[in-house]
Structure 1
Amino acid sequence: MSADVPQTTASRATDRPGDTSPFALGLLLRRAHWRAAAVMAEALRPLDIELRHFAVLIVLVDGGSVVQRDLAAATGSDKAGVMRVVDDLERKGLAVRKAVPGDRRVRAVEITPQGIELFDAAHAAAVPLAERLVAELGPGEPEQLTDLLTRFAYPAGGEA
């Protein structure tokens, strides 16, 4: 059976600078995500919310009243996870569930004025931390990085 396995001299996949393996970009993006998530979690900690809560608040600020199943899709979470987050946000007075006219089974979620206030406070708290996150980049590079990542995450053809 070992004769069927092709032998290769390819390097092992890492996220180290200069790695040319086909997995290097994905691993590097994962490491960048971990670093950015840690910095943003630091900004949110004093506000007593987590990134998963903030992800839902972003969708609510952007979309207004959002059906729970759409929140799951928009945040990349499963339905049960979104339900727990919405439960947390309701307990904190940051969001409310409301009935959807014409369908008793469906609930929409809306951000409260207190939720908007917290959303704004989170942005204010994140500014110095976000600046620290890109401190190693040169003039114009933070904007260039944002542009490249945006095009990477949202390709023109719409494929995932």
Structure 2
Amino acid sequence: MTSDTPHGTAASRATDRPGDTSPFALGLLLRQAHWRAATVMTEALRPLGIELRHFAVLLVLIDRGATVQRDLATATGSDKAGIMRVVDDLERMGLAVRKSVPGDRRVKSVEITPAGVELFDTAHVAAEPLAESLVAQLGPGEAEQLRDLLTRFAYPPGTEA
């Protein structure tokens, strides 16, 4: 078996261990951070009877107001079928409603209900201590620094936030 690396050097292999310097290290660290944050936020939402996918749609509706389903799919990284299932769930729970868009009966807009707004606000209160636990090991100002760095990473100049 031949090696593509010069004798005496080892190829950098991606791991998710701290200190990995492979080209994949940042992506792997972000994946681990996402899983950790998603696990914590899932625990905050569970007693409220919703999942992160539901909360993601409520977040968009709070931010943008009534939004057509295809734009919800784009905003949440979902596909058409997935967003329809989430909106179906939200409607069953009384947290959102679909409305016809004037001029195009095929397009449906989704709007948050007062119960949806109330649940959204309750979720934030429930998530606060858990969110604080995510950054408890960081020093003074580091949580804000992390948020700033991740925001600039996720939304580089010239992209729409």
Normalised to the residue count of structure 2, the TM-score between the two structures is 0.94
CA positional deviation for 1:15: 1.4
> Residue 10 of structure 1 contacts residue 21 of structure 1 at CA under 8 Å; is this kept in 2?
no
Equivalent positions of 1:141-156 (< 5 A) are 141-156=142-157
Q: For 1:10 and 1:18, locate their aligned partners in 2 and report how far apart those are by CA, in whole Å.
A: 15
Indicate yes or no: 2:43 matched with 1:42: yes
Q: For 2:137 and 2:143, locate their aligned partners in 1 and report how far apart those are by CA, in whole Å.
A: 10
Q: For 2:159 and 2:24, locate their aligned partners in 1 and report how far apart those are by CA, in whole Å.
A: 22
Matched position secondary structure for 1:158: coil
CA positional deviation for 1:158: 2.4
Q: For 1:125 and 1:157, locate their aligned partners in 2 and report how far apart those are by CA, in whole Å.
A: 34
CA positional deviation for 1:13: 0.2
Task: Name the amino acid aligned to 2:57.
Answer: V
Extract unaligned runs of 5+ from structure 2.
none
Task: Name the amino acid aligned to 2:110.
Answer: V
CA positional deviation for 1:86: 0.1
Extract unaligned runs of 5+ from structure 1.
none
Equivalent positions of 1:121-136 (< 5 A) are 121-136=122-137
Pairwise CA RMSD: 1.3
Equivalent positions of 1:79-90 (< 5 A) are 79-90=80-91
Q: For 2:159 and 2:42, locate their aligned partners in 1 and report how far apart those are by CA, in whole Å.
A: 30
Residue by residue over 1:9-41, the C-alpha shift from the partner in whole angstroms, topping out at 9 and shown as x without a partner, is 322101111111000000000000000000000
Normalised to the residue count of structure 1, the TM-score between the two structures is 0.94
Q: For 1:72 and 1:156, locate their aligned partners in 2 and report how far apart those are by CA, in whole Å.
A: 23
Percentage of matched positions with identical amino acids = 80
Q: For 1:93 and 1:78, locate their aligned partners in 2 and report how far apart those are by CA, in whole Å.
A: 22
